[in-house]
Amino acid sequence: MIQLFNVTKSYGGESAAVKDLSIQIPKGDFVYVTGASGAGKSTFLRMLYAAEKPTKGQILINNQNVTRISSKQIPFLRRKIGVVFQDFKLLQSRTVYENVAFALEAQGKKRYEVSKKVYQALKEVGLEHRLQRKPLELSGGEQQRIAIARALVVDPLILLADEPSGNLDQQVTLDIMELFKRANARGTTVLLATHDHSLQKRFPRRVITLDQGKLVGDYQPDQL
């Protein structure tokens, strides 16, 4: 369960990136976060994994107040959250296997456990035959699938995706959506920031719309 109460984030200037945002997202929900560029989508997601601290308001994730946790607790919060970016954020000098294993190693998992889970996660995204390749040897779609495998390998409670298909073609986008839907079906709460309306039409889910940092729409699929 994600709860935001009157959350504002400003960077010192007159206009705030996020203004007075109050949202509740139940466990296991699938939510699109939409809005034009600069609407505050990324800031909203970044506050959820504690990369930004709200200027005002409270954020609760599974009843834990994210705005009040110490920097020592932040890693433990992030272990419950998988994050996927438009630019993949992969380690180009590491192999596909190492990129995914990295997330488990960071949590101090045992070696045998790591190899088993990494193989499963890569099989899930259809890359189990590319274990020893470097990301740059693969296509954009495949690189994004590595990033998704890295996010999902830790069995996160929440998956945050910030414009994950921004650089990818339609077919690859659909493949990636399938991966998100499958994760959601297993109980992971998914928040997907996008301005691709065709996705919302093809896979109707709850849509939260932001404009200049403010919540201007929150619709369930049957209301669309």
Partner 1 sequence: MLENIRYFVRRALRNMRQWPLLCSAAVLTMAVALATVASFFLVVLNIEQLAASWTQEVQVVAYLEKSPKPQELPGLLQTLQAFPELETARFVSQDEALKRFRKRLGEDASLLEGVDRNILPASFELGLKKEFRNQKGIDQVIKRLESTIEVDELRYGQQWLERFNTFVDMLRFVGMVLGGFLLFAALFIVSNTIKLTLYARRDELEIMALVGATMRFIKIPFLLEGALQGFAGGLLALVFLAGSFKILIEQSIKSFWLTPANFELLFLSFNQQLGLVAAGVLLGSLGSLTSLRRFVRI
Q: Say whether residue 105 binds partner 1 (CB under 8 A).
A: yes
Number of residues that bind partner 1 (CB under 8 A): 26
Which tokens is 134 given? 């470097």
Considering only residues 12, 14, 63, 71, which one is a binding residue for partner 1 as defined by CB under 8 A?
71
Question: What are the Cα distances from residue 4, in Å, to 21, 24, 29, 120?
Answer: 7, 6, 15, 34
Spatial CB neighbours of 66, under 8 Å, sequence gap ≥ 6: 47, 48, 50, 59, 60, 77
| Residues 185-214 close enough to bind partner 1 by CB under 8 A | none
> Minimum Å distance from CB 87 to partner 1?
10
Instruction: Please identify which residue in the block is written with the tokens 């189990």.
Output: 128
Q: Does 79 bind partner 1 (CB under 8 A)?
A: yes
The minimum distance between CB 127 and partner 1, in angstroms, equals 18
Contact between 11 and partner 1 (CB under 8 A)? no
Query: Listing from the earlier edge strand, what are the strands of the sheet with 56-61?
Result: 16-25, 2-10, 56-61, 64-65
Name the one range near partner 1 by CB under 8 A: 66-74, 180-188, 201-209, 214-222: 66-74
91 binds partner 1 (CB under 8 A): yes
Binding of residue 30 to partner 1 (CB under 8 A): no
Alpha helices in the chain (DSSP H): 41-48, 74-78, 96-105, 111-124, 140-152, 170-185, 197-202
CB atoms within 10 A of CB 128: 16
* Listed ranges 14-22, 105-113, 164-172, 195-203: which one lies at the site for partner 1 (CB under 8 A): 105-113
What is the residue type of 137?
A: E
List binders of partner 1 among 142-171 (CB under 8 A): 150, 154
Q: Give least dist CB 79 to partner 1, A.
A: 4
Going across the sheet that includes 158-162, the strands are 81-85, 158-162, 189-193, 30-34, 206-211, 214-219
- Tracing tokens 């949202």 back to the chain, one arrives at 23
For position 112 contacting partner 1 by CB under 8 A, the verdict is no
To which H or E segment does residue 135 belong?
none
Site string (38-57) toward partner 1, x via CB under 8 A:
-----------x-x------
Q: Is 93 in the site for partner 1 (CB under 8 A)?
A: yes
Binding site for partner 1 (CB under 8 A): 49, 51, 71-72, 74-79, 83, 89-91, 93-94, 102-103, 105-108, 110-111, 150, 154
